[in-house]
Chain A
Amino acid sequence: MGGTNALSPRYRAVSAPFSWIRAEPHGIHVVPADCWVDPSRPVDRALVTHGHADHARGGHGQTVATPETLAIMDLRYNTREGALPAQYGETLALAGGVTASFIPAGHVLGSAQILLEHAGERVVITGDYKRRPDPTCPPFEVTPCDIFITEATFGLPLFTHPPIEQEIGKLLQALADHPDACVLVGAYALGKAQRVIAELRAAGHHQPIYLHGAMERMCRLYEELGVPLGDLRLVADATKDQMRGHVVVCPPSALNDRWSRRLPDPITAMASGWMRVRQRARQRNVELPLIISDHADWGELTATVEEVNPYETWITHGREEALLRWHELHQRRARALALVGYEDEDD
């Protein structure tokens, strides 16, 4: 493998470059600091990129994350003990001469890339990320590094997320076309739901939006953390007639559930990057697919690697084969990590 970005001379002095960071099946191990990034089982010390359940799990001795991610984890797992907040831009000294900095990843509220530095070597772990603007969280910042550990959820060239304005427009059009019905939007309860609501508000939709009970606490937390979401009401408190002509938001799992029988003739929508593929929408019985994703699409994944320009890319999860192939075609170093337990089916 040739590599346009050859190993710079300073690394040649180190006997085993990057041996201090290891990809294990259940997470990334920072050896000298004896801590783990996004471990999928309980550990003594964890660095957590963001609050989604496949990255943030309860039961660690100590959890280092952004205050927003810690608040989200506390809401889900009651993990106030052992929580150590790290502000965006702050650099923490870990054991064994390792430092960790938290940098916005643009994925969901509180999401961070983690920059680890040791012996002059820089490793960035993106967690999940996107490059599109999102009113609910600060944007991704490109951080030069030697090893760039990236996700590849939408790592196939067929994934191109359209502008979100276009998809929100589709939603509002369906609402206008069916004044006696409601549009039921399935959206991931953390991040996607709040982003869709915030984008609806940005598009001038100030009507009440009705929530599935499972969405309530997370939406309240977003508001407490400074993300206004407007007039939100609970489906449980509303009559069928009150919800006619309105947007209802629920977790994807509730879309085809008996729960939706209480809604007035719902048009089933789902906000997800997977909606780009017709059969994926059909599998979920979705009538109105909204291609809205909190992950980078193919163009963004590859452009980000070019901008970051690392010595080597490590790919955590997703369509890693295709992203590996892209690296090969562009003569860049890359390898896939066989991590277990990361799923993004609901994005």
Chain B
Amino acid sequence: MEKFAALIDALVYTRSRNEKLRLIADYLRATPDPDRGWALAALTDGLDFPAVKSSTIRTILMERVDPVLWTLSRDFVGDTAETASLLWPAPLAPAGPPPTVSEAVALLGAMTRKSVLTELPAMLDRLDPSGRYALLKLATGAMRIGISSRLAKVAFAQAFAVSVEEVEEYWHCLAPPYAELFAWAAAGAPPPDIANLPTFRPFMLAHPLEELEVDLADYAAEWKWDGIRVQLVRAGDQSRVYSRSGDDISASFPELLDLLPFPAVFDGELLVRGSHQGGEEGGAASFNALQQRLGRKTVSKAMLADYPAFVRLYDVLLAEGEDLRAAPWTTRRARLEQLVTRLPASHFDLSQVIAAGSFTELAEIRGRTRDEAIEGVMLKRRDSPYVAGRRTGLWYKWKRDPLLIDCVLMYAQRGSGKRSSFYSDYTFGCWNGDPDAGAELLPVGKAYSGFTDEELKKLDRHVRRHTVNRFGPVRETDRSLVFEVAFDSVHASKRHKSGLAMRFPRIHRIRWDKPVHEADRISALAALVQD
């Protein structure tokens, strides 16, 4: 555990990407199995110990530290694991040597919700503050130290001089501590056999188009549908639905599982039937409807009937034993158009290519799409292979322009992680009538992005100087600052006092200059609802 803790500390303080890669690669080479496999899983958030939650750590700490002092400390640090690692009192008697990573994983895995309350403290007693931090981060499965799982995979590839694409591909069919992966990469064993496993293939992603214009002779245009990106896999008589991050969400969408009549891997948008978003075989509902189906471990019959899911297909990666990923998009598209005819139309349709003669015409078509609740347009290079991640110049997303509204800052909350000392999460509101006639502000949304680090410093200062009330980590501010808030759409919501919920709100501009009574009213926001 000491070496793992030292790695975590070094990664926390290292800025350079290359240096981070070197640190991880060195650790993977120097550490024996299975410690390095567990460590790799921890770095990529691949570990889950159901008995250990953030709330467990809080409960354990509150037995040893005054609850008020714990809360004040946690609020200051902005990270439960780190606060606990710093506040943990030294044991009265020596508690034994620090556990190895494998031993820690075995102990954590065997804990129950009851036993964790005595067993986790016993482990903490065996560690120094750095070790406690590493253990608690590993145990709660959320490192949040600026290492993406992609970076860890690149480091793995560098450590053993293998291709990162192969690492990505084998990764998802193997479970921690990845013995076969290390045997292949480090010891030259044959690669893991994944042909008959329904494994996840990393998604191809798009860059934002920004100010660029592209030639439609080179790029095909498609709608960007407003559902969730999924991968549908059938191999060796098993089917899976994966989310964009590679999570298996099959249990939430059982109706899609038995419908693929042949082995294949499809890329598409998961949607719920409705009347908003057009398509070959009828429309789809807005994202709001799909949300009813997300995150469920079991799905009731009523749910299936009320919110029927289907997949609008974008691409095909593998079909009937053939790997199409290296082929150009045109070839894959032609194949997809053939294959879709063999799939039940009740649950599959094709994402249509937009017929536009020029970029200008496409811009015009895109400008008209708001009513259909489409997120914008995708531009795909006609000769692009299907490659993992974002590759410059191949795919672009051209999101529609956001909606804008002027709101007034009401509350600010301290951020976590890198922003732990800053008031960086803002709740803002609109007037429920004429502000000059005594109307009140009602909260309409919360945002924590869209501003620069410099602006964050100014906002933090504003919050501290304009505080009228404190509620733990939250400060209520006087009503003195207007935000121009950008958002993708707004929906009716019973959960909010204003009756409205925004999608993807972010700070568009800080209107230091604008008087608050000129901010928008709730009625202006309500007029933009498209449900």
Contact = CB atoms under 8 A, between A and B. Distances in A.
B78 interface: yes
Interface string A274-286: 0011111111011
Contacts of B66: 325, 329
A81 B418 CA distance: 46
Contacts of B68: 322, 325
Contacts of A158: 73, 76-77, 83, 86-87
Contacts of A160: 86
A269 to B, nearest CB: 10
B76 A319 contact: yes
Given A276-B86, A277-B82, A282 B69 contact: no
Contacts of B196: none
A156 B73 contact: yes
A283 B418 contact: yes
B421 A283 contact: yes
Interface in B393-434: 417-418, 420-421
Interface in B108-137: 133
| Most chain B C-beta atoms within 10 Å of own C-beta, residue among A160, A276, A279, A282 | A279
Contacts of A34: none
Given A279-B418, A282-B418, A319-B76, A156 B13 contact: no
Contact of B73 (A157, A278, A280, A285): A157
B72 A319 contact: yes
B183 interface: no
A185 to B, nearest CB: 15
A252 interface: no
B526 interface: no
A326 B13 contact: no
A283 B72 CA distance: 20
A287 interface: yes
Contacts of A319: 72, 76
B13 A286 contact: yes
B51 interface: no
Contacts of A278: 9, 12-13, 79, 82, 133
Nearest to B74: A158
B420 A279 contact: yes
A289 interface: yes
Interface in A293-324: 319, 321-322
B185 interface: no
A125 interface: no
A158 B421 CA distance: 15
A281 B72 contact: no
Interface string A241-278: 00000000000000000000000000000000000111
Nearest to A159: B86
A280 B421 CA distance: 8
Contacts of B72: 156, 319, 321-322, 325
B339 to A, nearest CB: 48
Given A276-B86, A279-B82, A325-B69, A285 B418 contact: no
A195 B148 CA distance: 40
B207 to A, nearest CB: 27
Interface in B142-188: none
B14 interface: yes
Nearest to A285: B15
A41 to B, nearest CB: 17
B388 interface: no
Nearest to A329: B66
A288 interface: yes
Given A156-B72, A319-B72, A326-B69, A277 B418 contact: no
B299 interface: no
Contact of B13 (A277, A282, A325, A329): A282
A156 B76 contact: yes
A166 B335 CA distance: 66
B500 interface: no
Interface in B28-67: 65-66
Contacts of B421: 279-280, 283
A172 B520 CA distance: 59
A277 B77 contact: yes
A288 B421 CA distance: 20
A281 to B, nearest CB: 6
A127 B9 CA distance: 35
Contacts of A326: 69
B13 A287 contact: yes
A277 B85 CA distance: 10
Contact of B77 (A279, A289, A321): A279
Nearest to A286: B13
Contacts of A321: 72
B418 A322 contact: no
| Most chain B C-beta atoms within 10 Å of own C-beta, residue among A283, A289, A329 | A283
A325 B77 CA distance: 18
A281 B13 contact: yes
Contacts of A280: 420-421
Given A278-B82, A280-B421, A156 B15 contact: no
Contacts of B133: 278
Contact of B12 (A156, A282, A322, A329): A282
Contacts of B65: 157
Given A279-B77, A282-B13, 13 more contacts: A157-B65, A158-B83, A160-B86, A279-B417, A279-B418, A283-B421, A286-B13, A287-B13, A287-B14, A322-B68, A322-B69, A325-B69, A326-B69
> What are the 10 tightest A-B residue pairs by CB atom distance, in nearest-first order?
A158-B86, A279-B420, A322-B72, A325-B68, A158-B73, A287-B13, A156-B73, A278-B12, A158-B87, A157-B69
